[in-house]
Amino acid sequence: MTEYDYWKIFPRMPKKVTIGDITIRDGFQHLEKFISTRAKIFYAEELIFAGCRNIEVTNLGNPYLLPQFADAEDVLGHLRSDLFKKRCAKKGINTEDICITAVTIREPSVDRAIKLKEKGIGPDRILMMVSTEEEHHFANSGTTLPVYWKEAERCIKKCTDAGIKMCGTVSTIWGSPIAGATELKDAVEFTKRWLEIGASDIEHADHDGSASAPDVYRYFSMILDAIPNTDLHIAHFHETKRVASASILAALQAGITYFEATLGGLGGQPANFLDDSPVPGTGEYYYNDPRFVGLSCLEDMLVQVDEMGIEHGYDVDRMLWLGRQLERTAGHRLRSEAAINGRTLKEGHMKFARPGLKKLKEKQGEKPGQLLPAEWDSEAVLPKSSQAR
């Protein structure tokens, strides 16, 4: 007989997940207009008030290259302010439970994070990144992998002394937008190397939407066989073919418990044009159309896991409202379907019911809830041909 219990079929699949938000950094970096400091602070606060406890809010790289984050210190400063702490306290939120992350691809940015920490406004956690495909790594960091690994090892030691966690990202796991196919085993080895040199956790990244569900399941099964502690692993999916929800499901089935996403599915390469001026960013976009890229959509992911009965800690309705506000901030339609169409409600949408069904059933002598003709047998009798295989 077929097993119908989903959790018995996939015994590693969790009943509870952690979902981090990276809208304000990864989402906003791709927009070709500057998002005001006030808006960044608004979305950071609202995400936290709605249940987010792991939030990535800025990039501490050179503001000349990434002018979207010229206000990094203002955003971080607000999230360390007494005002913000008081607002959290009124809502029963302990700010000690909130992990604030900033991206620091190279050592000067790491040094900046440490200085901000000394000033009392630094991040709790920072992030460095390697790609298993070296051309992609070079495009992101400007250096070779061996040189970067030594730099990362040096930076982790500095961060440990400063009381800052370091997340190690592994990218191009399922393919590179520059050099094509990659080997899953290389990403497993890179994950081990990050942990060997002291990374606190690992972001496993599909940075261009290359992943397919079977390979996602295969990879994360390989990872959890090698490194079973699920607290160490974060799934990060991009969306270019509208199949990221399948990748999320495959990661859940493999046993992954920690995901990250952006409101509206925003994100992609750093913008190379901002407001009315070209900016360096990371060079030319490697997408055919930059409007049709982005990350896994947070609103849709929440609805997906919520309707599976998986605990996640968010106020879903508040998040759907927030997603609609972000469309106004961005100035265009974003990628969330749930923010527009809402959740599947068990009580239905009776406002759409056509009037007169009750009276019609009474007129025809049918009982309330009767779905079949009264003269039919209580059990269906199947034809023999339906039993053949």
319-378 pLDDT, tens digit per residue, is: 999 999 999 999 999 999 999 988 888 888 888 899 999 999 999 999 999 999 999 999
* Tokens, residue 235: 């799934």
Q: pLDDT tens, 165-192?
A: 999 999 999 999 889 999 999 999 999 9
Which pLDDT does position 102 carry in this prediction? 98
Which pLDDT does position 35 carry in this prediction? 98
Q: Answer whether residue 284 shows pLDDT above 90.
A: no
- The more confidently predicted of residues 239 and 79 is 79
pTM value is: 0.94
Which pLDDT does position 288 carry in this prediction? 76
Q: Which CATH number characterizes residue 219's domain? A: 3.20.20.70
CA-to-CA separations, 366 to 77, 88, 286, in angstroms, rounded: 67, 56, 63
Q: pLDDT tens, 115-151?
A: 999 999 999 999 999 999 999 999 889 999 999 999 9
Which DSSP symbol is given to 34? P
Which pLDDT does position 278 carry in this prediction? 96
Which pLDDT does position 177 carry in this prediction? 87
Is residue 29 domain-resident?
Answer: yes
Which pLDDT does position 146 carry in this prediction? 98
Which pLDDT does position 283 carry in this prediction? 84
Is residue 50 domain-resident?
Answer: yes
Q: pLDDT tens, 26-71?
A: 999 999 999 999 999 999 999 999 999 999 999 999 999 999 999 9
Q: Answer whether residue 389 shows pLDDT above 80.
A: no
Is residue 126 domain-resident?
Answer: yes
Is residue 62 domain-resident?
Answer: yes
Is residue 174 domain-resident?
Answer: yes
Q: Answer whether residue 275 shows pLDDT above 80.
A: yes
Which pLDDT does position 317 carry in this prediction? 96
Q: What percent of the chain has pLDDT over 90?
A: 87
Query: Please, are residues 267 and 295 in contact by the beta-carbon 8 Å criterion?
Result: yes
Residue of 331, 265, 330, 333 whose CA lies nearest to 304? 265
Which pLDDT does position 242 carry in this prediction? 83
> Could you give the angle at the alpha carbon of 128 between the alpha carbons of 313 and 138, nearest 5°?
135
Mean pLDDT (the chain) is: 95
Phi/psi for 168 (5° steps) reads: -105, 120
200 Cβ contact partners less than 8 Å away, ≥ 6 residues apart: 125, 165, 166, 167
Is residue 379 domain-resident?
Answer: no
pLDDT band of residue 210 (cuts 50, 70, 90) is confident
Q: What percent of the chain has pLDDT over 70?
A: 100
Number of structural domains found in the chain? 1
Report, as an integer, the average pLDDT of 269-289: 88
368 Cβ contact partners less than 8 Å away, ≥ 6 residues apart: 358, 361
Is residue 356 domain-resident?
Answer: no
Is residue 254 domain-resident?
Answer: yes
- Which domain, by its residues, includes 186? 16-341
